[in-house]
Amino acid sequence: MAKDKKLTEEDDALLAELGIEVEAKKIVKHTAREERIITGFEEIQQFVEEHGKHPEHGEDKDIFERRYAIRLEQIRKQEECINLLKDLDHQNLLDGASADEYSEVQEDIDDDELLAQLGVGEESNSIINLKHVKTRAEKRAAEEIANRQPCEDFDKFKPFFETVKKDIDNGLRSTVRFRKDAGFTKTNYRVAQFIIIGGQIGYIAEMGETLKAPNGEEDRRLRLIYANGTESNILLRSLIRAMYRDETSRFITDADDGPLFSDEMSEDDLESGTIYVLRSKSDLDTVRDRRDVVHKIGVTGGEVEKRIVNAKNDPTFLLSDVQIVATYKLANINRIKLENLIHKFLSPARLDIEIKDRFGKPVRAREWFLVPFFIIDEMVEKIKEGNLSGYYYDPNTARLIKD
C-alpha cells in the first residue's frame, strides 16, 4: 500500500494558483487498546510477507504460526476489529469472514478480554504488567516450543547437566543474555551447545542435514535434550524465534570461554581487583614446619588489609593472624573466574587442612597451597601475558612446565 507524501508549503501554493484546493488530512488518533490490536495485526501481516501464506493451525506448524492463526481467527470474529483494520488489510486477510457469521460474540466484551482473545498483551512498559510474571502467551510459547517427549537415553546426558550446573556455580561458565540486537545467528548454535529456554537448561545433542524452509531460507532439525529428562525434535529457526520471545533465554558459555580480562564489564566484573598471597602465623604442625612455602592465594575487589583484619577469628585463615607476602593489582578482571583458575592450576599442591572453629565444628580450609613464592610470582606473570593455559605446575620439581 503506497504511502502518501506530505505536501510542502510551496506545493500548496502552486496548487492554489492552479485552482486546486488542498484538503487537510485528518489525523486519526487511536486508543491504547486499538494500537495494540493494530500492532497484533501487523505481526500477522509480517508473517504473511515473510512466508507467502496465511498462518495455519496444525501440530506440524511452528508455535508462532499457530498463535497468529488463532489471533487472525479471533480478529475475524470481532466487528470492531474488522472496522478498525479493514483499511490496513492490503493482503485481504479479513476476506471470507463477516461479523454476522459470529453473532455469538459478546458485544459488551471488555478491553482486557478482547485483547486476551486476540493474544495481544499489555504494553511491556505498563505499570500493571508484572515483569517477572509470565503471561499466558509466554507460558504457552515455553511449553509448546516443540512437542517434548521423554528422553529414553537421558542417563547418558544427565552428567552433562550436573557438570554445567556446577561450572556455573563455580564461575567456570557464565550465561550470556540472548538479545535481538546482539547479532546472534544460526552459526551461534552447534552440537554440544548449552542454552537456557523457558527456564530449562537445554543441550543440543544433534543437528540434522540442512533443509529448505518454505521462504527459501536454510533450516536444520535439532535434537534438543532438556535438564528435566525430556527432549524435542525442533527446527533451528523455531528455536531462535522462541529465544527471541523469551526475555530470560540465554547461552551458556564453554568452561574455557570468556576472558579473565576484558573491555566489557558484566555484573560479575570489577574495575580492578587484587591477587593476594598470604603466609599464616599459625602453630599448626602442617604450617609451622614449612611456613615459607605454605601460602594462601585469593582474589579480592577490596583492600587486602580489610580482608584479613579478622583473620584470627576466621577458620579459613586457620584462626590465626597472617602476613601479606605479595599483592598484584589487576584492572578489569572477573574475580570469580580468576580465583577459580588459580586454584585449579595449583590444585596438585593444595593442602587439605582441617581445623575446628570457635564452636568446635570441623572446617576444611582449602585455599592453602604448598608452593614456593617464586612459582606464584611466575604464575601471575603468565596470567598477565595470557598464556597460562600452555603450562602446568609440577609439584615434584617445583616448576611450571610447558605442555
CATH of the domain at 220: 2.30.30.30
- Whether 82 and 191 map to the same domain: the answer is no
- Whether 273 and 311 map to the same domain: the answer is yes
Q: Is 87 exposed, middle or buried (0-12, 13-18, 19+ CB in 10 A)?
A: exposed
Grid look-up 529414553 returns 152
The more confidently predicted of residues 144 and 127 is: 144
Q: What angle do CA 98, 102, 104 make, to 5 degrees?
A: 160
The answer to whether residue 230 is domain-embedded is yes
Task: List, for residues 35-72, the tens digit of each pLDDT value.
Answer: 888 888 888 888 887 778 888 887 777 777 788 888 88
Rounded average pLDDT over 135-144 = 44
> Final residue of a domain: which of 72, 87, 122?
122
The answer to whether residue 16 is domain-embedded is no
Domain of residue 171: give its range.
147-252
Quote the number of domains for the chain: 3
- Per the CB < 8 A criterion, the answer to whether 302 and 352 are in contact is no
Dihedral through CA 133, CA 138, CA 140, CA 143, nearest 10?
A: -90
User: Grid coordinates standing for 350?
Assistant: 593444595
- Whether 340 and 234 map to the same domain: the answer is no
Q: What angle do CA 341, 345, 348 make, to 5 degrees?
A: 140
**Residues forming beta bridges with residue 280, ordered by sequence position:** 322
> Final residue of a domain: which of 219, 252, 285?
252
The answer to whether residue 307 is domain-embedded is yes
Task: List, for residues 348-403, the tens digit of each pLDDT value.
Answer: 999 888 887 777 778 788 889 999 999 999 998 888 777 788 889 999 998 999 87
> In degrees rounded to 5, what are phi and psi of residue 300?
-135, 155
Tell me the C-alpha distance between 66 and 63, whole Å: 5
Global model pTM greater than 0.85: no
User: Grid coordinates standing for 331?
Assistant: 584492572
- The mean of the pLDDT values for the chain is 75
Task: Provide the total of helices (H) and of strands (E) in the chain, helices listed first.
Answer: 12, 14
Task: List, for residues 67-91, the tens digit of each pLDDT value.
Answer: 888 888 888 888 888 888 888 888 8
The answer to whether residue 3 is domain-embedded is no
Which letter, b or e, does each residue of 194-221 get, where b requires 16 or more Cβ atoms within 10 Å of its Cβ? bbbbbebbbbbbebeeeeeeeeeeebbe
- Per the CB < 8 A criterion, the answer to whether 207 and 195 are in contact is no
DSSP strand pairing (350-356 vs 362-370): antiparallel
The answer to whether residue 127 is domain-embedded is no
For the four alpha carbons of 237, 240, 246 and 250, in that order, the dihedral sign comes to positive
Tell me the C-alpha distance between 212 and 243, whole Å: 21
The answer to whether residue 128 is domain-embedded is no
Residue type, position 144, single letter:
E
The answer to whether residue 242 is domain-embedded is yes
Tell me the C-alpha distance between 295 and 62, whole Å: 58
The answer to whether residue 247 is domain-embedded is yes
- Whether 339 and 392 map to the same domain: the answer is yes
- What SS3 class is residue 258? coil
